Amino acid sequence: MSTATITATCPECDATVTFDRAPLNGEIARCTDCSAELEVVSTDPITLELAPEVEEDWGE
């Protein structure tokens, strides 16, 4: 029995990014090919953009 793989395309290097479960909007992923930090901007279809750079007011 096969399990459907959830994938999207890295906007930086065009590699396939795999998710182990359905991602949510705003979720952060990393491309294993180019190491780019990516953000899920749409879930149907799954669309990725480069994640924003760290801002001065980010933190705990």
Partner 1 sequence: MRIAMTYTRLRVEERMLIDAFEDLGADVTPVDLRHVVFNPTTLGDWARYDAVFDRSLSLTNTLTSVRILESLGVRCINPLRAIETCADKLATTLALIRAGVATPEVRVAVESEPGLEAIEQLGYPCVLKPTVGSWGRLVSRVNDRDAAESILEHREVLGSVSHSVVYAQEHINKPDRDIRVFVVGGNAIAAIERRSEHWLTNTARGAVAAGMEVTPELADLSQRAVAAVGADIAAVDLLECPRRGLLVNEINHSMEFRNSTTTTGVEIHRIVAQHTLNIAQAHASQAASDGDIHPVQRACDAPVSGERAGAAGAPSGEGALA
Contact residues for partner 1 (CB under 8 A)? 24-28, 39-40, 51-52, 55-60
Cα 45-54-30 angle, rounded to 5 deg? 40
* 17-55 residues labelled b (16+ CB within 10 A) or e (exposed): beeeeebeeebebebeeeebebbbeeeeebebeebeeee
For partner 1, the closer of residues 15 and 51 by Cβ is 51
Min CB(24)–partner 1 separation in Å:
6
For partner 1, the closer of residues 9 and 43 by Cβ is 43
Min CB(7)–partner 1 separation in Å:
18
